[in-house]
């Protein structure tokens, strides 16, 4: 298998070198080995000149190169929309490894690498990203890229092992990570109890199959600005020590099975702009302190089990981009403070602070329709449509009465006729 490949690449190398020897007197050319590698990865033959200098944005193979002598070398490579016959061969990775710092795949259904990454690549690569590409890329392959500062796997199912914490295995050697995105990557298991990446600023683990509680260890990631654990199967309560993440600007824990109350420690997050706790099983009341948090722009608490009176004034809600609290059957709003148009999907309170009627199932306000996705619909529907069944029962009762009346009438008429 290897011998013919090697032979072909030698031959191609020879041809390329010859081709370059003729006009190549001026600026330094791309390293011929690396040019071959780019060819193998789908660089079109007619772009023989210099893949580094072309305005390649959007091209299937886009590279940036250093200005080395005698040859320039590829430092950053993006493969987009490649054909499904493309394969990320060990030979190509070997050739690129010495200089490559960033590697990205987008919509690239190529065959993922089988062997472990070459050591030079593992030592030098700083950014790796993969969006809808390289399906079933082995998690253990990724785990070798220990120098990464940015790792982003999106809409790509990984080939995982069966470890109890697949994520812990993946990141065990990546001490320099600042951005970690593993979104819709089909990873399961528990969240790690130890993080070795002190500089992590953005963590997005949304849309996987993580189970168990959110460990306190997450709250030791002091520099984190954005934490997204949405759409997993996490349970237990929100750790009170979430208040230690003092740089947090966006917290998205929506669409899990989290229970208990909304922790008071959220009030200690001065930078918080987005708070999404929708579609969980949170109970207790909505904390009043949220209205004192000046930076807040989005609050989503829909589809939970929250109770009591919405503690916000109209002025505060008017300043929010998103406010959602529908689908909390025991929650209500004070009619002398708010209107139904603002507290969409929330029932008005009676004078004791309990919901008077089932929440209106209709009228979506501008604010809610702007904010797409309908995250809490699954949980909300049960509550919102309570008007439906009772109306149906009433209709049925009226129908039956009419029928009975008609029968009696017919019977009487018959008797009269005889």
Binding residues for ligand NAG, per CB under 6 A?
81, 146-147, 157, 160, 175-176, 183, 186, 188, 204, 206-207, 211-212, 228, 230-231, 233, 235-236, 250, 252, 255, 259-261, 274, 276, 283-284, 309, 334, 336-337, 349, 351, 353, 373, 375
Nearer to ligand NAG, 30 or 185 (CB): 185
Q: Please report how close the Cβ of residue 345 comes to ligand NAG at its closest, in angstroms.
A: 16
Q: Please report how close the Cβ of residue 375 comes to ligand NAG at its closest, in angstroms.
A: 4
Nearer to ligand NAG, 18 or 373 (CB): 373
Strands 322-324 and 298-300: parallel
Cα–Cα distance, 182 to 137 (Å, whole number): 13
Residues contacting residue 394 through CB under 8 Å, at least 6 positions apart: none
Beta strands in 186-301 (DSSP E): 188-190, 202-204, 209-212, 226-228, 233-234, 250-252, 259-260, 274-276, 281-282, 298-300
Nearer to ligand NAG, 34 or 300 (CB): 300
Longest alpha-carbon distance in the chain: 119
Q: Please report how close the Cβ of residue 246 comes to ligand NAG at its closest, in angstroms.
A: 18
Nearer to ligand NAG, 91 or 140 (CB): 140
Cβ pair 116, 90 in contact under 8 A:
no
Q: Residue 240, Cβ neighbours under 10 Å: how many?
A: 15
Nearer to ligand NAG, 129 or 255 (CB): 255
Give, as one character, the DSSP assignment of residue 308. E
Cα–Cα distance, 344 to 400 (Å, whole number): 36
Nearer to ligand NAG, 314 or 363 (CB): 314
Cα–Cα distance, 12 to 33 (Å, whole number): 9
Q: Please report how close the Cβ of residue 19 comes to ligand NAG at its closest, in angstroms.
A: 26
Q: Please report how close the Cβ of residue 320 comes to ligand NAG at its closest, in angstroms.
A: 14
Nearer to ligand NAG, 127 or 274 (CB): 274
Q: Please report how close the Cβ of residue 181 comes to ligand NAG at its closest, in angstroms.
A: 9
Q: Please report how close the Cβ of residue 310 comes to ligand NAG at its closest, in angstroms.
A: 10
Closest Cα to residue 272, out of 250, 252, 288, 253?
Answer: 250
Nearer to ligand NAG, 29 or 279 (CB): 279
Nearer to ligand NAG, 314 or 408 (CB): 314
- At 346, list the tokens: 């929330």
Nearer to ligand NAG, 33 or 160 (CB): 160
- At 170, list the tokens: 């993946």
Cα–Cα distance, 303 to 237 (Å, whole number): 16
Cα–Cα distance, 15 to 39 (Å, whole number): 13
- At 373, list the tokens: 């996705």
Cβ pair 225, 249 in contact under 8 A:
yes
Cα–Cα distance, 319 to 71 (Å, whole number): 57
Q: Please report how close the Cβ of residue 404 comes to ligand NAG at its closest, in angstroms.
A: 44
Q: Please report how close the Cβ of residue 138 comes to ligand NAG at its closest, in angstroms.
A: 12
Q: Please report how close the Cβ of residue 256 comes to ligand NAG at its closest, in angstroms.
A: 8
Strands 61-65 and 74-80: antiparallel
Closest Cα to residue 229, out of 195, 280, 285, 263?
Answer: 280
């Amino acid at each position: 298998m290897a011998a013919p490949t090697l032979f072909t690449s030698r031959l191609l190398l020879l041809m390329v070198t010859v081709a370059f020897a003729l006009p190549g007197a001026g600026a330094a050319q791309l390293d011929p080995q690396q040019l071959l590698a780019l060819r193998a990865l789908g660089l079109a033959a007619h772009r023989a000149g210099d893949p580094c200098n072309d305005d390649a944005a959007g091209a299937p193979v886009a590279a940036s190169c250093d200005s080395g002598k005698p040859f320039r070398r590829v430092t950053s490579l993006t493969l987009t929309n490649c054909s499904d016959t493309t394969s990320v061969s060990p030979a190509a990775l070997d050739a690129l490894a010495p200089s490559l710092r960033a590697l990205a795949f987008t919509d690239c259904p190529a065959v993922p690498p089988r062997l472990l990454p070459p050591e030079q690549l593992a030592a030098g690569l700083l950014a790796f990203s993969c969006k809808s590409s390289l399906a079933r890329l082995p998690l253990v392959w990724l785990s070798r890229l220990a120098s990464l500062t940015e790792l982003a796997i999106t809409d790509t199912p990984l080939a995982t092992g069966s470890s109890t914490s697949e994520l812990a295995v993946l990141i065990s050697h990546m001490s320099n990570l600042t951005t970690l995105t593993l979104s819709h990557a089909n990873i399961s298991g528990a969240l790690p109890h130890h993080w070795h990446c002190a500089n992590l600023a953005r963590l997005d683990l949304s849309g996987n199959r993580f189970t168990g509680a959110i460990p306190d260890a997450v709250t030791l990631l002091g520099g984190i600005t954005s934490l997204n654990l949405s759409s997993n199967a996490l349970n237990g309560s929100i750790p009170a020590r979430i208040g230690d993440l003092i740089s947090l600007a966006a917290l998205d824990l929506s669409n899990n099975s989290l229970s208990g109350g909304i922790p008071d420690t959220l009030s200690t997050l001065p930078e918080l702009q987005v708070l999404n706790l929708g579609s969980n099983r949170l109970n207790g009341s909505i904390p009043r302190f949220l209205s004192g948090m000046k930076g807040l722009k989005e609050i989503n608490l829909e589809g939970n089990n929250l109770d009591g009176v919405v503690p916000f004034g109209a002025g505060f809600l008017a300043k929010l981009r998103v406010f959602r609290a529908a689908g909390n059957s025991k929650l209500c709003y004070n009619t002398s403070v708010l209107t139904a148009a603002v507290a969409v999907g929330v029932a008005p309170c009676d004078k004791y602070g309990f919901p008077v009627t089932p929440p209106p199932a209709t009228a979506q306000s501008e604010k809610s329709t702007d904010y797409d996705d309908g995250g809490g619909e699954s949980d909300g529907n049960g509550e919102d449509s309570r008007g439906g069944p009772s109306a149906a029962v009433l209709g049925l009762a009226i129908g039956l009465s009419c029928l009975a009346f008609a029968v009696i009438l017919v019977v009487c008429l018959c008797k009269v006729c005889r």
